[in-house]
Amino acid sequence: MDEFRDAALGFPAALFTAALVVVVAFWLLVLLGAADHGGFHGHVHVPAHGHAGSGGSARTGAQGIGGVPVTVVASLLITIAWFTSFTGSVLVRRSGASGVARTALDLGVLTAALLLAWGLTRLLVRRLRALFPDHPPPSRLDFIGLTCTIRTGSVSGRFGQAEVAAQDGSTAVVQVRQHGRDAFGSGSTALLYAYDEEGEFFWVAPYDPALDPRTAG
């Protein structure tokens, strides 16, 4: 038992032991429903047509670990690296090497652990991609064309807030503005017809549900 404890807490396995504890704790929280396995910025995306135009996401996609949640990728890397370095450390200790030879073997184990973790993670990610279909991240532009409920007493060219329901049923409070002088009161319905990226608000217009052909009887 002491041999395994020393290997886990010694170099090089100790470099991954603390991270492995975090990984185990995280997945226990996932099993208990207290955390989301797709957290930590969601998926590692694979760039379209292989061109790197999105920073880190493009680089990781080109390197073969895209298409699954980043938590899964990190967990695989850490777990494989720890297990490999732990196994190698046990073998090095049993070899009886010491001094420079021991240091060289430990460094070799660390290098092998990193390379093996990277290679196996890439291989496993390819198998797992089918379980994690890549959906584009939600965008405020998805709200354009939807109706909203005004939540302020009025809406002007400089002030206004409204609540809008997304296609998935979730709701959000957004900033709204109008070009004209239409009377918008709290609880009235309006149409989001454009988005101002610089000001981060939506332009709204009056909306009458009775005039919507989709709701006509």
pLDDT band at 41 (very low <50, low <70, confident <90, very high): very low
Q: Is the pTM of this model over 0.85?
A: no
pLDDT band at 35 (very low <50, low <70, confident <90, very high): low
79 Cα distance to chain centroid:
19
Residue 185, class by beta-carbon neighbours within 10 Å (0-12 exposed, 13-18 middle, 19+ buried)? exposed
C-alpha 77/C-alpha 84 separation (Å) is 11
pLDDT at 48: 37
In order of start, what are the domains of the chain with their CATH numbers? 2-131 (no CATH), 140-211 (2.40.50.140)
By mean pLDDT, which of 15-24, 72-81, 164-173 is the weakest?
Answer: 164-173
Which is it for strands 189-196 and 201-206: parallel, antiparallel or unpaired?
A: antiparallel
pLDDT at 23: 92
Q: What percent of the chain has pLDDT over 90?
A: 48
pLDDT at 129 over 90: no
- Residue 24 sits at φ, ψ, to 5 deg, of -60, -45
What distances in angstroms separate CA 32 from CA 27, 28, 36, 110, one per listed residue?
9, 6, 10, 34
pLDDT at 62 over 60: no
Q: What Rg, from alpha-carbon coordinates, does the chain have? A: 27
Q: What DSSP state is assigned to residue 197?
A: T
pLDDT digits (tens, 9 = 90+) for 6-25: 888 888 999 999 999 999 99
